[in-house]
Amino acid sequence: MSADRERAVVDRVPTCTFAGGTTFAVEDPSTGEVLCEVGDATAQDAVAALDAAHEHQAEWAATAPRVRGEILRRAFELMNERAADLALLMTLEMGKPVAESKAEVTYAAEFFRWFAEEAVRIAGRWSTNPSGDGRLLTMRQPVGPCLLITPWNFPMAMGTRKIGPAIAAGCTMIVKPAQLTPLSMLMLADILREAGLPDGVLNVVPTSKAGDVTGPLFADPRLRKVSFTGSTPVGKKLMEQASQHLLRVSMELGGNAPFLVFADADLDAAVDQAVVAKMRNMGESCVAANRFHVHESVADEFAARLAERMAAMKVGRGTEDGVDVGPLISADQRDIVRGLVDDAVSKGAKVLTGGEDVGDRGYFYAPTVLANVPPDAELLRTEIFGPVAPVATFADDDEAVRTANDSEFGLVAYVFTRDLKRALSVAEALEVGMLGLNRGMVSNPAAPFGGVKESGFGREGGVEGIDEYLAVKYVAVDL
Ligand code: SIN
């Protein structure tokens, strides 16, 4: 990829100017160099964004559903037309290989197509009172101005799966993108404007001072909803703030996904899908397989084959041809990953491949497989968010389920078995919001994404996704 092309893509981003005129730097994690400066929103800018969202709420809610749907459909088309540039920009600010960024642009655009189709299907209900006396009318209306807080790991898709249903439902919104990756969101906002989204409906507030910007919004009764994707500790703090005015809340939080391989599993498929479930996004995903629990009769073979595949992956700058694994997002994130590996090794885990930093600039860490991981290793309990696969063993189905459920998180699990009865009983017993059965990827705009326990609540995508942005009103009708 030529440096000129990279520069041209970055230069096209509308980088925002706020009244105070201050900016913050956005960095390329593969080099540590600054890509550009972005306007740094303050508390006043956040309130101005809420003013706009509030002012336009009634008019936007009254816009024909077909019009809202067609704006989303047009944005879906523009995203696909510009996928190459959007993918390059995403790789530059976030690090993932360009092929993965392209996959994210496609995934992100699909949320717009899906919710374009949902916009025209917001129905209510008309029924007869069971007593026969009068009628019950139920309608679903936009919840009102929303605050959407998106993470750095999927800078575009985590935006479209909140923005898509908000637009479809008729809500206005303020979007706070992650400080580390605001550029993809700024390009997305530009595409929506070009697709016909009226001013004031979507208001982006990039900032280096998240608390300063979100604090006044939570304190303002005009805000009616918050949707957050990020860590569980931050989610808990936001819930406290959201309680001031009892906001509607959607929380997509941390995970600790178990990947269970039973003795009867197709081992070829399990290894292939383990690579997908672990290495998508360099493991920086809340649905990344975090811990591999493998039946003791096949654990050595599974770990050896996984290590061979992971060792063959090419680590490098995501813009280079043939690269499979980009850098981690920051030096801090790499320190966390390295610390978790060192802890496991100090407690007896064996490094089959990796276990070290790569290169002398950027934040690269080698794809790592650890065998014989003891139960007290920290990385079995903590979300790793890096390219590290710890393999532990189980002796029977009860132990597999008990170990998998022994976590405060409950986002997703992966189960590999050829026995249908076992598959269904394990699926019923696992405490998760999503499950991949003989597959390492569950994400799909047409399906409800979300967790249980401390992984949060609310669903994004699927027919459920739009409900998060609608309030039910019931009218008792006396005829
Ligand atoms: C996430 O990691 O937050 C979501 C990943 C996905 O949608 O697949």
Ligand 1 centroid–CA 442 distance in Å is 9
Asked if residue 263 and residue 213 are part of one domain, the reply reads: no
How far is 100 from 459, CA to CA, in rounded Å?
24
In a domain, 450, yes or no: no
In a domain, 451, yes or no: no
**pLDDT score at 17:** 82
- The owner of tokens 């390219």 is 387
**pLDDT score at 442:** 98
Neighbouring-strand partners of residue 126: 137
In a domain, 362, yes or no: yes
Q: Which two tokens stand for residue 143?
A: 């919840």
Q: Which two tokens stand for residue 158?
A: 């985590």
Q: Ligand 1 in contact with 287 (CB < 6 A)?
A: yes
Could you give the angle at the alpha carbon of 26 between the alpha carbons of 20 and 32, nearest 5°? 145
Query: In testing the pocket of ligand 1, which one of 154, 228, 409 has its CB within 8 Å of the most ligand atoms?
Result: 154
In a domain, 54, yes or no: yes
Ligand 1 centroid–CA 464 distance in Å is 17
**pLDDT score at 225:** 98
Residues with active-site annotation: 252, 286
In a domain, 227, yes or no: yes
Q: Ligand 1 in contact with 229 (CB < 6 A)?
A: yes
Q: Which two tokens stand for residue 139?
A: 């309608």
In a domain, 76, yes or no: yes
**pLDDT score at 76:** 99
Asked if residue 46 and residue 26 are part of one domain, the reply reads: yes
Ligand 1 centroid–CA 22 distance in Å is 31
Asked if residue 341 and residue 296 are part of one domain, the reply reads: yes
- CATH at residue 77: 3.40.605.10
Ligand 1 centroid–CA 327 distance in Å is 18
**pLDDT score at 15:** 86
Q: What is the 3-state secondary structure (H, E, C) of the chain?
A: CCHHHHHHHHHCCCCCCCCCCCEEEEEECCCCEEEEEEECCCHHHHHHHHHHHHHHHHHHHCCCHHHHHHHHHHHHHHHHHCHHHHHHHHHHHHCCCHHHHHHHHHHHHHHHHHHHHHHHHCCCEEEECCCCCCEEEEEEEECCCEEEECCCCCCCHHHHHHHHHHHHHCCCEEEECCCCCCHHHHHHHHHHHHCCCCCCCEEECCCCCHHHHHHHHHCCCCCCEEEEECCHHHHHHHHHHHHHHCCEEEEECCCCEEEEECCCCCHHHHHHHHHHHHHHHHHCCCCCEEEEEEECCCHHHHHHHHHHHHHCCCECCCCCCCCCECCCCCHHHHHHHHHHHHHHHHCCCEEEECCCEECCCCCEECCEEEECCCCCCHHHCCCCCCCEEEEEEECCHHHHHHHHHCCCEECEEEEECCCHHHHHHHHHHCCCCEEEECCCCCCCCCCCECCEECCEECCECCCCHHHHHEEEEEEEECC
**pLDDT score at 406:** 98
**pLDDT score at 16:** 81
Q: Tens place of pLDDT for every residue, the chain, 479 residues?
A: 689 999 999 999 998 888 888 999 999 999 999 999 999 999 999 999 999 999 999 999 999 999 999 999 999 999 999 999 999 999 999 999 999 999 999 999 999 999 999 999 999 999 999 999 999 999 999 999 999 999 999 999 999 999 999 999 999 999 999 999 999 999 999 999 999 999 999 999 999 999 999 999 999 999 999 999 999 999 999 999 999 999 999 999 999 999 999 999 999 999 999 999 999 999 999 999 999 999 999 999 999 999 999 999 999 999 999 999 999 999 999 999 999 999 999 999 999 999 999 999 999 999 999 999 999 999 999 999 999 999 999 999 999 999 999 999 999 999 999 999 999 999 999 999 999 999 999 999 999 999 999 999 999 999 999 999 999 999 999 98
Q: Ligand 1 in contact with 207 (CB < 6 A)?
A: no
How far is 133 from 306, CA to CA, in rounded Å?
66
How far is 229 from 214, CA to CA, in rounded Å?
14
- CATH at residue 420: 3.40.309.10
Are residues 314 and 325 in contact, defined by beta-carbon separation less than 8 angstroms? yes
Asked if residue 316 and residue 243 are part of one domain, the reply reads: no
Q: Which atom of ligand 1 is nearest to the CA of 281?
A: 2
Asked if residue 225 and residue 290 are part of one domain, the reply reads: no
Determine the structural domain holding residue 270 and report its residue range: 257-444
Asked if residue 376 and residue 341 are part of one domain, the reply reads: yes
Asked if residue 428 and residue 329 are part of one domain, the reply reads: yes
Asked if residue 277 and residue 235 are part of one domain, the reply reads: no
Ligand 1 centroid–CA 286 distance in Å is 6
In a domain, 73, yes or no: yes
Report which of 42, 32, 29, 35 is spatially closest to residue 15, judged by C-alpha positions: 35
Asked if residue 434 and residue 311 are part of one domain, the reply reads: yes
Q: Ligand 1 in contact with 286 (CB < 6 A)?
A: yes
Burial of 345 (0-12, 13-18, 19+ CB in 10 A): middle
Give the residue whose CA is nearest to atom 8 of ligand 1. 443
Domain count, the chain: 2
In a domain, 298, yes or no: yes
Asked if residue 162 and residue 74 are part of one domain, the reply reads: yes
Asked if residue 346 and residue 242 are part of one domain, the reply reads: no
Q: Ligand 1 in contact with 353 (CB < 6 A)?
A: no
Asked if residue 205 and residue 59 are part of one domain, the reply reads: yes
